[in-house]
Copies of this chain bind each other. A is one copy, B any other.
Amino acid sequence: MSTLAALKNHQVRLAKRPVGSPTRDNWSFTTEDVAEPGEGGVLVKTLALSLDPAMRGWMNEGKSYIPPVGIDEVMRAGGVGKVIASKNDKFAVGDLVSAGLGVQEYMLIPSDQVKRSGMFKIDSRAGSMTQWMNVLGMPGMTGYFGLMDVGLPKPGETVVVSGAAGAVGQTVGQLAKIKGCRVVGIAGGRAKCDWVVNELGFDACIDYKAGNVKAGLKEHCPKGVDIYFDNVGGEILDDVLARIGRGARIIICGAISQYNNTTAVQGPKNYLSLLVNRARMEGIVVFDYADRYHLAVAEMAGYLKDGRMKSKEDIVGGGVNAFPEALTKLFTGENFGKLVLQVAEG
């Protein structure tokens, strides 16, 4: 372990809270020495980080489902890394782990933080490193529990999912197909829509950038929408509300169209459709299901293995220094598949 002293940890910290879209000015870049773990501690080298829409919310001041990232703190991020030093019985050098690593190259986890970090060994037989950040990771779990526990899908029902080519969306749509539903995606651009239909097997996909969401919903959901998994909010949520059927369930997972708003969030003006249709709109936070992740992972790994579920990751290089620009791809819709920042070679 004497080589550790030569390592430098490059980090990205929140310098100031953004107004609207985050830019490079919102971040500061620091370098620290890498220290050896103490008794019970683990040192992890970051291999790749998961970039998620939720990050935008963590940058804001104020109460939410988890505390905001503090000013000058290393930006919160989940990721996959390799244990390079360990004084903890449960983790050995060379183990691949998933953990809240933060946007930095090394994460020293002291003994008393190991459990709290949620760190666990990943099983390469279940899926690749990037799949562990996608279908088998937080986005996959979000899609799984949102659809299954809140959406309560029944065979033959019509499921609509926005952000269909994104990490959560691809999971939701494919899982809904596996469960016997008719699935209509909403995504930006022909390429994403074609992929969702041709590769993932959705029944249809509406290109919102072509501006025909209402007409598309009417065409592809002739009997109304039974389940809507919402990742985007804004106009699209209103368009779907206008098409829901009786007893519909709307899962509120996110509202990426609204996160960089500098004015108030756009509330769904068609919310009274919930009344007319005796429908429900319900929020989901994935962490609530942590005690059942292993069950969902086992099920999803089975689908990956038998080919019924595919996954697509959009892997950006450049290491932690490229984080600010990589993150903005989520909000412009430039990413195609689960956005991953590669930090080091395995």
Contacts and interface: CB of A to CB of B under 8 A. Distances in A.
B275 A283 contact: yes
Interface size class of A (residues with CB under 8 A): 20 to 34
A69 to B, nearest CB: 16
A284 interface: yes
B275 A65 contact: yes
Nearest to A62: B276
A238 interface: yes
A274 B282 contact: yes
Interface string A227-259: 000000100001000000000000011110010
A282 B275 CA distance: 7
26 contacts: A65-B275, A233-B272, A252-B271, A252-B272, A252-B274, A255-B275, A258-B272, A265-B270, A265-B271, A265-B272, A266-B269, A267-B267, A267-B269, A267-B270, A267-B271, A268-B271, A272-B283, A273-B283, A274-B281, A275-B285, A276-B283, A277-B283, A278-B284, A278-B288, A279-B282, A281-B281
Interface of A: 63-65, 233, 238, 252-255, 258, 264-285, 288
A280 to B, nearest CB: 4
Nearest to A66: B276
A58 to B, nearest CB: 12
A82 B69 CA distance: 68
B254 A275 contact: yes
Given A276-B283, A278-B282, 19 more contacts: A64-B276, A65-B275, A255-B275, A258-B272, A265-B269, A266-B269, A267-B270, A267-B271, A268-B271, A274-B281, A275-B284, A276-B285, A277-B283, A278-B284, A279-B282, A279-B283, A280-B280, A280-B281, A281-B281
